[in-house]
Amino acid sequence: MFTGIVTDIGTIETVEQTGDQHVRIACGYDTTEIDLGASISCSGVCLTVVDKGPDWFAVDVSGETVSRTAPGMWRGGQRLNLERALKLGDELGGHIVTGHVDGVGRVVELHEEGGSVRVTIAAGPEIAPYIAAKGSITVDGVSLTVNSVEDVADGVRFGLNIIPHTAAVTTFASFAVDQAVNLEIDVLARYLKRMQQLSITP
């Protein structure tokens, strides 16, 4: 379980094909405090630490995970938003995030708005029912508030405001139009949708 508050930016050092992909990620964490088997969110994907060194940790990424995450994400040099798993007593600064990617979106617009950057992301119909203005969304592992929603023929477009601090402590400073991003819907929206599906109209 995570909060969507990024605590480090990692960089993929190596990718080895060992059945699954064995990915080594350089980081700024004190890895002596990270146990093998611990969970770390890597740009929104909950992965298990299988090896570590003084300034890196390694994870195994299955073919299923690769197929469900942003194209090109698992390659050398790629920068990742990192967050260690939530501990009891930690501050819940974002919202409850599971680290399970629900879909891949695409950045379609970027423009400055005051001191911030306004980002518009397009997503498919499987994501559309769960996006609401002033609701929460996780983009590449970062908890954000949805500012606007537009339903379109092929799904949904929604707007986000990236303040300078968020850009500075995440990979968002390098956002570009047509970039693919990992999306996780708000877990509360997921349950509300399921309750709606099961509701019986008298």
134-166: pLDDT as tens digits: 999 999 999 999 999 999 999 999 999 999 999
The two beta strands, 56-61 and 20-26, are: antiparallel
pLDDT digits over 52-73, tens only? 999 999 999 999 999 999 999 9
Give which of 129, 162, 131, 159 is closest to 147, Cα–Cα: 159
- CA separation (Å) from 90 to 93, 117, 164, 168? 9, 29, 24, 23
CA distance 133 to 150: 10
The answer to whether residues 21 and 60 touch, using CB atoms and an 8 Å cutoff, is yes
At residue 186, what are phi and psi to the nearest 5 degrees?
A: -65, 130
Q: How wide is the angle at C-alpha 150 spanned by C-alphas 148 and 156, nearest 5°?
A: 110
At residue 73, what are phi and psi to the nearest 5 degrees?
A: -70, -35
- 74 and 117 assigned to the same domain: no
Last residue in a domain, options 54, 84, 114: 84
- 110 and 147 assigned to the same domain: yes
Per the DSSP assignment, residues forming a β-bridge with 171 are none
Range of the domain at 114: 103-198
Report the number of distinct structural domains present in the chain.
2
Q: What is the CATH number of the domain that holds 74?
A: 2.40.30.20
User: Residue 2 falls within a domain, yes or no?
Assistant: no
- 62 and 139 assigned to the same domain: no
pLDDT of the residue at 43: 98
- 75 and 156 assigned to the same domain: no
User: Residue 43 falls within a domain, yes or no?
Assistant: yes
- 184 and 122 assigned to the same domain: yes
Per the DSSP assignment, residues forming a β-bridge with 41 are 46, 83
Last residue in a domain, options 84, 113, 129: 84
Q: Give the global pTM.
A: 0.92
- Extract the residue ranges of the chain whose pLDDT is less than 50: 202
Q: Which two tokens stand for residue 116?
A: 């911030």
At residue 102, what are phi and psi to the nearest 5 degrees?
A: -95, -20
Q: How wide is the angle at C-alpha 9 spanned by C-alphas 84 and 71, nearest 5°?
A: 95
- 120 and 37 assigned to the same domain: no
pLDDT of the residue at 202: 47
CA distance 83 to 4: 7
- 73 and 41 assigned to the same domain: yes
User: Residue 18 falls within a domain, yes or no?
Assistant: yes
Position 49: which residue type? V
User: Residue 3 falls within a domain, yes or no?
Assistant: no
- 192 and 152 assigned to the same domain: yes
- 63 and 107 assigned to the same domain: no
